[in-house]
Amino acid sequence: MSKIIKVLELGSGNSRRGANQNRGRALVAGGAGFLGSHLCERLLLDGYDVVALDNFHTGKRFNLKAVLHNPRFTCIEHDIVDALPSNLRVDEIYNLACPASPPHYQADPIHTFKTSVLGSLNLLELARKHNAKIFQASTSEVYGDPLVHPQPESYFGNVNTHGPRSCYDEGKRSAETLFFDYSRTYGLDVRVARIFNTYGRRMQPDDGRVVSNFIVQALRGDDLTVYGSGLQTRSFCYADDLIEGFVRLMNAPSAPAHPVNLGNPGEFTIMELATLVVDYTNSRSKIVHRPLPVDDPKQRRPDISFARNNLGWEPKINLAQGLAHTVEYFDTLLYGNRMAKGAAAS
Ligand code: NAD
Ligand code: UDP
Q: Specify the CATH number for the domain of residue 137.
A: 3.40.50.720
Q: In angstroms, rounded to a whole number, what is the distance separating the alpha carbons of residues 28 and 36?
A: 7
Q: Which residue range forms the structural domain that includes residue 128?
A: 3-196+239-263+300-317
Q: Does residue 208 sit within a domain? A: no
**Which of 209, 236, 290 has the most ligand 2 atoms within 8 A of CB, as the residue to mutate?**
209
The residue whose C-alpha atom lies closest to atom 13 belonging to ligand 2 is 210
Q: Does residue 179 sit within a domain? A: yes
Q: Give me the active site residues, please.
A: 168
- Which numbered atom of ligand 1 lies nearest the CA of 58? 11
**What is the number of structural domains in the chain?**
1
231 CA to centre of ligand 2 in angstroms: 11
Residues having CB closer than 6 A to ligand 2 are: 102, 197, 209-210, 213, 225-227, 232, 234, 270, 293, 296
Q: In angstroms, rounded to a whole number, what is the distance separating the alpha carbons of residues 178 and 172?
A: 10
Of 91, 85, 107, the closest CA to residue 18 belongs to 91
Give the pLDDT of the chain (346 residues) as one tens digit per residue: 567 665 444 544 444 444 445 899 999 999 999 999 999 999 999 999 999 999 999 999 999 999 999 999 999 999 999 999 999 999 999 999 999 999 999 999 999 999 999 999 999 999 999 999 999 999 999 999 999 999 999 999 999 999 999 999 999 999 999 999 999 999 999 999 999 999 999 999 999 999 999 999 999 999 999 999 999 999 999 999 999 999 999 999 999 999 999 999 999 999 999 999 999 999 999 999 999 999 999 999 999 999 999 999 999 999 999 999 999 999 999 999 888 777 655 5
Predicted pLDDT of residue 228: 98
Q: Does residue 218 sit within a domain? A: no
Predicted pLDDT of residue 10: 52
210 CA to centre of ligand 2 in angstroms: 5
- Which numbered atom of ligand 1 lies nearest the CA of 119? 18
Q: Does residue 105 sit within a domain? A: yes
Helix axis angle, 34-45 relative to 239-251, nearest 10°?
60
Q: Does residue 46 sit within a domain? A: yes
Q: Does residue 227 sit within a domain? A: no
SS3 content of the chain, % helix, strand, coil (to 5): 40, 20, 45
Predicted pLDDT of residue 339: 85
Q: Does residue 182 sit within a domain? A: yes
Q: Does residue 209 sit within a domain? A: no
**Which of 96, 206, 319 has the most ligand 1 atoms within 8 A of CB, as the residue to mutate?**
96
Our answer on whether the CB atom of 40 is closer than 6 Å to any ligand 1 atom is no
Please state the φ and ψ torsions of residue 273, each to the nearest 5 degrees: -60, -45
Q: Which residues pair with 235 in a beta bridge?
A: 267
Mapped onto helix, strand or coil, the DSSP state of residue 209 is coil
Predicted pLDDT of residue 13: 44
Of all ligands present, the nearest one to the C-alpha of 107 is 1
Please state the φ and ψ torsions of residue 303, each to the nearest 5 degrees: -90, 110
97 CA to centre of ligand 1 in angstroms: 5
- Which numbered atom of ligand 2 lies nearest the CA of 165? 24
Contacts of 124 (CB under 8 A, 6+ apart): 134, 178, 179, 182, 188
- Which numbered atom of ligand 2 lies nearest the CA of 224? 8
Helix axis angle, 210-220 relative to 319-335, nearest 10°?
50
